[in-house]
Amino acid sequence: MEKTDRTYIAWGLNDGAHEARNLKPMLTPEEQVELLKAKGVTFERCDEAKAIEALSSRDTFLHIAAFRKMFQRHADGDNAGKYVSLDFADLLDMDELDAEVRSCFLLASQDVERIVKTRLIERISLMPGEDGYGILADFMQSQVKGYRVSIERNLKGRIGKHGSADEYTGALIAHYGEAMPIWVFLEVVPFGTLLAFYLFCASRWDDRAMRMRHSMLTEVKAVRNCCSHGTCLINGLAEGKSSEYETPHLVIEWLAEHGFKSGKSRRAKMGNRRTQQLVTCLAALDGVRGDASASTIEALVRLGGSLSDRAGRYGQENSFVSYLSFIAKAIDNMG
């Protein structure tokens, strides 16, 4: 997309509203199609009229076009930099697969969150030294002031008049606002706060296994957030998308136990941040598989088939294919 020398009033993270030049112009769907054609994308299996309709009502250009980066480009010659045999239909296919991946992993991550919360509450109820109130008081007092105030502000803001500000949890928060038990608190706070409490309990009970699982759960939360917000996911399943983080030890053990021998291939796949997080989510879910919902299990079975189908359809010359196959195998090898 060519930049323009027009002066814009733009907004930025550092400067707020300010004048800026040499920015990419906003394009109409028709202009978006022309841009893709200039980059070598063809419109044979999906004609231009249908492509314009998709860009007008199905999904945004930014979202659909993001999947083009998964495909090969000509390295040299007259078509250097242009995509190799990439049709707009392929972008729509990847968009459809991406939606299926997000839908499935949203279910999986929600199951993990639900079961972790339930088992945490059960453990507290069975411990002689815990009453369900003092542990929350101690947790809140242990947090830095800024985070504690943020939690309190969020809960108070959802009460409104007679709990009306939040139709779904406002009344519950209002009812227990003066002396909130842990089983109510964990029902109304977000996943991130649950994880903070989980780590607090790991330290309180000196539970090394909980500390190790916490590192897995933070990855599950990242997947859940991506899926909830509809962010592109599979467009990052490619070589060169390296992770700065080590794969949690429990996930390495899970891979070894489920047919993934240690070696160059496994290291390469788990070195990709998105693969790392998706597989961690699967490993976390597999640890509570007996309590996973039927809809999640059914979605995983369907997704495994969809991933294998795409892997067979696009061929090994596209690097993302091996990542799809890796995740499909992880799904198939779950207990």
Question: pTM for this one?
Answer: 0.92
Question: Total domain count for the chain?
Answer: 2
The pLDDT of residue 238 is: 82
The pLDDT of residue 79 is: 87
Asked, for residue 42, whether it belongs to a domain, the answer is yes
Say yes or no: 80 and 216 in one domain.
no
Say yes or no: 103 and 243 in one domain.
yes
Say yes or no: 37 and 108 in one domain.
no
Say yes or no: 67 and 115 in one domain.
no
Asked, for residue 326, whether it belongs to a domain, the answer is yes
Asked, for residue 162, whether it belongs to a domain, the answer is no
Say yes or no: 212 and 78 in one domain.
no
Contact 103, 299 (CB under 8 A): yes
Contact 63, 95 (CB under 8 A): yes
Mean pLDDT, each 10-residue run in order, the chain (335 residues): 79 92 92 96 97 96 94 89 94 97 98 95 96 97 97 92 82 94 97 97 96 95 96 89 86 93 90 96 86 92 96 87 96 87
The pLDDT of residue 228 is: 96
The pLDDT of residue 105 is: 98
DSSP 266-324: HHHHHTBHHHHHHHHHHHHHHTTGGGS-HHHHHHHHHHHHHHHHHHHHH-TTSTHHHHH
Say yes or no: 74 and 221 in one domain.
no
> Which of these, 146, 74, 162, lies nearest to 154 by C-alpha position?
146
Say yes or no: 212 and 77 in one domain.
no
The pLDDT of residue 194 is: 98
Say yes or no: 242 and 310 in one domain.
yes
Asked, for residue 75, whether it belongs to a domain, the answer is yes
Asked, for residue 81, whether it belongs to a domain, the answer is yes
Say yes or no: 79 and 103 in one domain.
no
Asked, for residue 3, whether it belongs to a domain, the answer is no
Say yes or no: 299 and 214 in one domain.
yes
Exposure string of 23-50, with b = 16+ CB inside 10 Å and e = fewer, is eeeeeebeebbeebeeebbebeebeeee
Distance between CA atoms of residues 91 and 46, nearest Å: 10
Helix (H) or strand (E) holding 131: none
Asked, for residue 2, whether it belongs to a domain, the answer is no
Say yes or no: 214 and 280 in one domain.
yes
Domain encompassing residue 294:
98-130+208-332
Helix (H) or strand (E) holding 12: strand 8-12
Say yes or no: 214 and 291 in one domain.
yes
Asked, for residue 179, whether it belongs to a domain, the answer is no
The pLDDT of residue 319 is: 87
